[in-house]
């Protein structure tokens, strides 16, 4: 028997059980130290960032293939961040959902709903579950290392230490 396709959409790409839940606890391992320090870096490459970056090469400006970038060889972590349901509802309106689904697939999650969840209300219990999951996906999931490839010009951008590098060599600017 094959495993049935889950009826409920799964928003979570990867759940880190070691998530740092208390920032006052001194880190105990080198890995945790590194993750803890990233809390204070606002340039962290969160999943949501993938919805706002495209290829920087001039000739890709008008190409539909320059967004979203294709993500490969990515290493992701999850970091517990303050949950703000209103922010998620507001962001959701602005998100290009097709791109969210595409990038999630790049990162190994095939089960996002094809249609953007809309009209979510933080007061409704069912919606709360979805909003929580979206918070984990969009805000708490971060890409630490990896490649972003333009589907149009195939230029590769690298993400290192959770910081995406969009600097181009002079001949591409």
DSSP state of 159: E
Closest separation in Å from C-beta 169 to Zn ion: 13
Tokens 């996002």 -> residue: 112
Between 60 and 74, CB nearer to Zn ion: 60
Closest separation in Å from C-beta 76 to Zn ion: 23
Closest separation in Å from C-beta 55 to Zn ion: 3
Between 121 and 154, CB nearer to Zn ion: 154
For residue 86, give the H/E element and its range.
helix 85-94
CA distance readout (Å), 162 to 111, 133, 159 = 25, 21, 6
Contact status, residue 77 vs residue 35, Cβ threshold 8 Å = yes
Between 45 and 66, CB nearer to Zn ion: 66
In 3-state terms, what secondary structure has residue 71? strand
Closest separation in Å from C-beta 82 to Zn ion: 35
Closest separation in Å from C-beta 142 to Zn ion: 24
Between 120 and 172, CB nearer to Zn ion: 172
Q: Which residues in this chain contact Zn ion in the complex, by CB under 5 A?
A: 55, 57, 60, 66, 150, 152-153
Q: Which residues partner with 78 through β-bridges? A: 141
Q: d(Cα 26, Cα 60) in Å, to the nearest integer? A: 46
Length of the chain: 173
Q: d(Cα 166, Cα 53) in Å, to the nearest integer? A: 9
Between 135 and 164, CB nearer to Zn ion: 164
């Amino acid at each position: 028997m094959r495993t049935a396709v889950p009826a409920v959409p799964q928003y979570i790409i990867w759940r880190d059980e070691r998530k740092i839940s208390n920032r006052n606890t001194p880190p105990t391992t080198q890995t945790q130290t590194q993750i803890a320090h990233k809390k204070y870096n606002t340039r962290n490459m969160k999943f949501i960032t993938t919805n706002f970056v495209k290829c920087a090469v001039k000739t890709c400006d008008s190409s539909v293939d320059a967004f979203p970038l294709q993500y490969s060889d990515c290493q992701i972590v999850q970091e517990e961040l303050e949950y703000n349901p209103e922010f998620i509802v507001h962001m959701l309106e602005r998100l290009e959902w097709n791109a969210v689904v595409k990038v999630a697939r790049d990162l190994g999650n095939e089960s996002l709903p094809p249609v953007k969840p809309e009209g979510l209300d933080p007061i409704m219990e069912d919606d709360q579950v979805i909003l929580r999951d979206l918070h984990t996906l969009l805000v708490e999931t971060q890409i630490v290392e990896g490649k972003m490839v333009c589907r149009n010009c195939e230029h590769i951008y690298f993400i290192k230490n959770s910081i995406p590098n969009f600097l181009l060599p002079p001949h591409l600017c």
